[in-house]
Structure 1
Amino acid sequence: MIEILILYYSRHGSVAAMAEQVARGIEEIEEVQARLRTVPPVSTVCEATEDAIPQSGYPYASLEDLKECAGLALGSPTRFGNMAAPLKYFLDTTSSLWLSGSLVGKPAAVFTSTASLHGGQESTLLSMMTPLFHHGMVLVGLPYTESGLITTREGGTPYGPSHLSGVNNDLPLTHTEATLCRALGKRLAKIVYSLANTQ
């Protein structure tokens, strides 16, 4: 079975909900399955602020998860137009994978959630792509053949799915946002599957 890692950080649950929709899209392709992993919060006092095993939800990611995956979907809320510190902190620990070239040639995609519609969705997605380019990954976005990109009044960008969570983080994924998440997952899985079967 070909596995795609969905690696995300979610503070209030919006990015986690997106990750699950991306996973649904991935698993629409036979012989491809999603592996969902998260990262713990960090602080300036003690770095990791959580136990080694989460009390609920998906397990914390390890470098082995990245090494073993055939593709990657990376998700984060925005922090001033950038990815959240916990995800950046984890990515900063991947130097050994960079040195070994473990991620070179693997397809990757990104997704995000913001409190306000113009709260930095696209800049956050672009910031998440930067370390993936350094790892030699092949970036996958959403084409405008996805009609939701043209009609959306909520989240959704060609760089990857996005979600408007609201200032109180109380807005659930809309139909369009969830559809675009699934579309990205399915597109990523098709590309991963095609590459796996041509090598």
Structure 2
Amino acid sequence: MAREIQRGANSVEGVEATLWQVAETLPSVVLQKMKAPPKPDDVPVIRPEQLVEADGFLFGFPSRFGVMAAQCKAFFDATNSLWETQALAGKPAGIFWSTGFHGGGQELTALTAITQLAHHGMLFVPLGYTFGSGMFEIDEVKGGSSYGAGTYAGDGTRKPTELELQQAFYQGKYVSEITKKLSKN
């Protein structure tokens, strides 16, 4: 999903989207018991202070017990100095996510993630129903909602469907177009 979001963002002329990941906070023994997939080696770990360099954001969250995973929350908790100075205020931000199954917290993850954006004064850019007929698809299992793109990961073996990837690409492009309009650069 994240790579497709990035591809969509980079399809906008003049936009250079960078893919980052947050630091792992769980011990390897816990990750093994959870059967967590390995982190990609080609995606650097972001530090909170690097956020100020961006004109806009698309934050992706895995869901754990109906809310963003602890690693993502720990990252946002470490942005206190940015919050104190409101360094991210006015910057557009969208969200996307993956959950394990239907009822695993797709929209709850989105709604609880929005609080992180609000406290920083970021401008939440929802997908709304701008994706068109794909938003109303009921003939296949599809994650996502008007809050953003999403997927159901199952036990980690389910890959995003073509429709979910199309929605992710669209969201990357959509948020980047808005970010470009609002950017001072």
Shorter-chain TM band: 0.7 to 0.9
One-letter identity of the residue aligned with 2:164: E
Q: Which of these residues, 128, 144, 151, is aligned with residue 163 of structure 1?
A: 151
Matched, 1:93 2:93: no
Residue 30 of structure 2 is matched in structure 1 by none
Structure 1 moving runs of 4+ over 4 Å: none
Residue 20 of structure 1 is matched in structure 2 by 3
Matched residues in 2 for 1:19 and 1:55: separation? Answer: 12
1:58-81 CA distance string (max 9 Å, x none)? 111012320100001111111111
Matched residues in 2 for 1:157 and 1:101: separation? Answer: 29
Alignment CA distance shift 1:145-1:90 (3 Å): closer
1:112-142 CA distance string (max 9 Å, x none)? 1111122111000111111110000000111
Return 5+ residue gaps in structure 1 as ranges. 1-17, 45-53
Q: Please identify which structure carries the higher strand content.
A: 1
Residue 186 of structure 1 is matched in structure 2 by 173
Matched residues in 1 for 2:58 and 2:130: separation? Answer: 20
User: 1:74·1:128 contact (CA, 8 Å) conserved in 2?
Assistant: no
Matched, 1:105 2:93: no
Q: Which of these residues, 37, 40, 43, is aligned with residue 26 of structure 2?
A: 43
User: 2:99·2:106 contact (CA, 8 Å) conserved in 1?
Assistant: yes
User: 1:71·1:107 contact (CA, 8 Å) conserved in 2?
Assistant: yes
Residue 53 of structure 2 is matched in structure 1 by 68
Return 5+ residue gaps in structure 2 as ranges. 28-38
- Alpha-carbon offset, residue 57 of structure 1: 2.6
Which structure has more RCO (C-alpha within 8 Å, separation ≥ 6)?
2
Matched residues in 2 for 1:109 and 1:61: separation? Answer: 17
Aligned residues: 172
- Alpha-carbon offset, residue 55 of structure 1: 7.5
- Alpha-carbon offset, residue 143 of structure 1: 2.4
One-letter identity of the residue aligned with 2:53: E
RMSD (Å) for aligned C-alpha atoms: 1.8
Residue 177 of structure 1 is matched in structure 2 by 164
SS in 2 for 1:77: strand
Aligned residue runs from structure 1 range 107-122, under 5 A: 107-122=92-107
Alignment CA distance shift 1:123-1:55 (3 Å): closer
One-letter identity of the residue aligned with 1:102: A
Q: Which of these residues, 92, 103, 115, is aligned with residue 130 of structure 1?
A: 115
Matched residues in 2 for 1:132 and 1:106: separation? Answer: 9
How many percent of aligned residue pairs carry the same amino acid?
39
